[in-house]
């Protein structure tokens, strides 16, 4: 009884980021029905479903804090939900299926997609029945689909905390600072458990009838990023525990890996600035530089490190990220003093997602920009030539780009990339400014090839018994890019639904 109380407070405190991690006393063995590796969005959803099903459940979390990337998600995807029906959002499973399949040129796992789409509305109901609250359905895009179900307070941490409390109240265990290290596989190739280690280095053998891998992908593993992603410098936004452990275990167990080159692209971020200093609600958090991130995001001139314009700057996040990948993953926003004044006096027209409201007047531009200059990601110069020198661009190329932009602005016609003319701005009146950006990802989305029950498959299509892969450890949904602007919130939805649905399958698997 005392032990249960300790566990509950450890995980709940961990969710709040202030826990002293729970350490088990010495090498030991546990026998459970379901062992879940990773206590993020997918892991706690699987844990919730597992304790509801009456399974003896343990969740292992590598960090001292639970939640992973799930603490950062703002909203989750569904189609045909109660909230969408109430608001007359005109999409249904069939329409969405065709739209997504077309976007990915039918190079993705259609069966898994369809099975998941059909369940997403029921999963919203399931979350609501478990006390998760939504603020409504939104889209961050002008012509978006309104698939993004926003969590109360704009943060998925509300789901993480709520589920963690309920899991422990129902007898499930969440062991923080206890990374899984390998799978136990019997001579028939069936997965029968997990070997983990706690903070004190004690080995923990967990014998389990089913194992669910939910370690959140590999965005924080620089070697894997270099090996698989198109831009080796991709930095990861959010939780640091996502180092590809689960994917490596799945591969060792014989799973085929798919979509390993794709990420949930977060666009250009201030180069070298830690996530916490630039990502967060304007004015409310420590995200000091979120307005500079918003300035970088505005649909004005962007150029490659050589000084060439490379895309329509109004493109959705995944398209502008693709274009930036093509030029090496880094780019600059370049503007003149008139645009600076416009941002200060008239505001940042597009804001930055839920963090900077559209139209926010950038009144502290000069102060923040000056700090950016000192930190080396902002540049100011009296001439285009000097700006090119400071940023390392080719002066002639940058001058040519600027001249062309000025001509197109005068003509009110972008005959290069056909951006809406309302976003054309001259770069004529000094001083001139540049902000350096580099690509970040919210999460990687490649992983084990899974069937519609989230069972990983070998390259010859055989199921690996006793094993499930969910969330960012399960691939198959994306061909060459994430599909944010037609299906906002799919990454977390794939994880949460994977948690619920893999346990549905475990119920039948364990009966056999
Ligand atoms: C800034 C940001 C904003 C986002 N916004 C959205 C959004 O609005 N909508 C959306 O759909 N998605 C969003 N995402 C993505 C979303 O967070 C992920 O899709 C989701 O969290 C994936 O769930 P998961 O369970 O696969 O991984 P995670 O939630 O990342 O959880 C994985 C967990 O596994 C742990 N782990 C790793 N290795 C081990 C190991 N060996 N042993 C034990 N534990 C281990 C990690 O520490 C982590 O806690 C966002 C992500 C970020 C970073």
Query: Do 257 and 264 contact (CB within 8 A), yes or no?
Result: no
- In this prediction, residues 111-121 reach a mean pLDDT of 96
Q: Using the 8-state DSSP alphabet, how is residue 417 labeled?
A: T
CA torsion through residues 457, 458, 463, 468, sign:
negative
* Tens of pLDDT, residues 414-458: 999 999 999 999 999 999 999 999 999 999 999 999 999 999 999
Distance of CA 361 to CAs 356, 372, 464, Å?
10, 18, 55
Q: Spell out the residues 6+ positions from residue 328 whose beta carbon is closer than 8 angstroms to its own.
A: 231, 304, 305
Listed residue (502, 457, 441, 16) closest to 216, CA to CA:
441
Nearest CA to ligand 1 atom 48: 68
- In this prediction, residues 327-333 reach a mean pLDDT of 97
* Tens of pLDDT, residues 452-491: 999 999 999 999 999 999 999 999 999 999 999 899 999 9
Lowest-pLDDT range of 52-66, 246-260, 273-287, 422-436:
273-287
- Find the Cα–Cα–Cα–Cα dihedral 289, 294, 297, 302, rounded to 10°: -60
- With a Cβ cut-off of 6 Å, ligand 1 is lined by 37-43, 60-63, 68-70, 72-76, 179-180, 214-216, 237-239, 241-242, 245, 264, 279, 442-443, 471-472, 489, 491-493, 495
Position in ligand 1 atom list of the atom nearest CA 489: 11
Rounded CA gap, 306 and 335, in Å? 16
Rounded CA gap, 298 and 346, in Å? 13
* Tens of pLDDT, residues 345-379: 999 999 998 889 999 999 999 999 999 999 999 99
The radius of gyration of the chain's CA atoms, rounded to the nearest angstrom, is 24
* Tens of pLDDT, residues 129-154: 999 999 999 988 777 889 999 998 87
Q: How far is the CA of 437 from the centre of ligand 1 (A)?
A: 23
Does 335 have pLDDT greater than 90? yes
Q: How far is the CA of 330 from the centre of ligand 1 (A)?
A: 25
Listed residue (461, 472, 493) closest to 126, CA to CA:
493
pLDDT of 155: 83
- Percent of residues, the chain, with pLDDT higher than 90: 88
* Tens of pLDDT, residues 20-30: 444 445 899 99
**Phi/psi of residue 277, nearest 5 degrees:** -85, -10
Summary mean pLDDT of the chain: 93
Q: How confident is the model at residue 126 (pLDDT cuts 50, 70, 90)?
A: very high
Q: Spell out the residues 6+ positions from residue 341 whose beta carbon is closer than 8 angstroms to its own.
A: none
* Tens of pLDDT, residues 153-205: 878 999 999 999 999 999 999 999 999 999 999 999 999 999 999 999 999 99
Does 9 have pLDDT greater than 80? no
pLDDT of 1: 28
Ligand 1 pocket mutation pick from 44, 237, 442, 450 by most atoms within 8 angstroms of CB: 442
Ligand 1 pocket mutation pick from 15, 38, 353 by most atoms within 8 angstroms of CB: 38
CA torsion through residues 400, 401, 402, 404, sign:
positive
Ligand 1 pocket mutation pick from 42, 45, 58, 69 by most atoms within 8 angstroms of CB: 69
């Amino acid at each position: 009884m005392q032990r249960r109380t300790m566990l509950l407070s450890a995980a709940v405190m961990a969710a709040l980021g202030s826990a002293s991690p729970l350490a088990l006393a010495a090498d030991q063995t546990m026998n459970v029905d379901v062992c879940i590796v990773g206590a993020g969005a997918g892991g706690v959803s699987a844990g919730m479903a597992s304790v509801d099903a009456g399974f003896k459940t343990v969740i292992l979390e590598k960090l001292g804090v639970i939640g992973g990337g799930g603490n950062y998600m703002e909203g989750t995807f569904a189609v045909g939900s109660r909230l969408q029906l109430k608001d007359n959002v005109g999409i249904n499973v069939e329409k969405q299926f065709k739209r997504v399949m077309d976007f990915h040129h039918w190079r993705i796992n259609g069966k898994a997609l369809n099975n998941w789409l059909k369940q997403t509305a029921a999963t919203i109901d399931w979350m609501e029945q478990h006390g998760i609250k939504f603020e409504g359905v939104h889209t961050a895009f002008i012509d978006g689909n309104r698939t993004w179900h926003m969590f109360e307070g704009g943060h998925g941490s509300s789901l993480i905390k709520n589920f963690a409390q309920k899991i422990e109240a129902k007898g499930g265990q969440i062991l923080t600072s206890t990374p899984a290290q390998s799978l136990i596989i019997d001579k028939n190739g069936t997965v029968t458990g997990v070997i983990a280690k706690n903070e004190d280095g004690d080995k923990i053998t967990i014998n389990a009838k089913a194992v669910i891998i939910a370690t959140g992908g590999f965005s924080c593993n620089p070697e894997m990023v270099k090996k698989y992603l198109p831009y080796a410098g991709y930095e990861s936004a959010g939780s640091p525990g996502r180092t590809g452990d689960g994917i490596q275990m799945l591969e060792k167990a014989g799973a085929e890996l798919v979509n390993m080159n794709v990420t949930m692209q977060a666009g250009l971020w201030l180069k070298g600035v830690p996530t916490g200093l630039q990502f967060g609600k304007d004015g409310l958090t420590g995200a000091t530089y979120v307005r500079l991130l918003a300035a970088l995001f505005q649909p004005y001139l962007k150029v490659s490190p050589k000084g060439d314009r490379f895309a329509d700057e109004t493109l959705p996040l995944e398209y502008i990220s693709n274009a930036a990948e093509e030029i090496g993953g880094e780019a600059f926003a370049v503007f003149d003093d008139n645009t600076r004044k416009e941002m200060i006096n008239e505001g940042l027209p597009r804001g930055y997602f839920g963090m900077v409201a559209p139209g926010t007047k950038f009144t502290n531009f000069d102060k923040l920009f000056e700090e950016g200059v000192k930190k080396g990601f902002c540049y100011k110069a009296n001439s285009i030539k000097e700006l090119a020198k400071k940023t390392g661009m080719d002066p002639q190329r940058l001058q040519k780009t600027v001249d062309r932009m000025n001509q197109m602005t005068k003509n009110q016609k972008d005959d290069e990339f056909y951006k809406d003319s309302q976003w054309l701005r001259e770069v004529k009146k000094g001083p001139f400014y540049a902000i350096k950006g580099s690509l970040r990802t919210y999460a990687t989305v490649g992983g084990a090839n899974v069937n519609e029950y989230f069972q990983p498959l070998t390259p010859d299509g055989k199921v690996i018994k006793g094993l499930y892969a969910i969330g960012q450890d399960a691939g198959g949904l994306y061909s060459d890019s994430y599909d944010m602007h037609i299906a906002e919130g799919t990454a977390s939805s794939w994880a949460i639904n994977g948690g619920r649905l893999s346990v549905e399958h475990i119920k039948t698997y364990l009966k056999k």
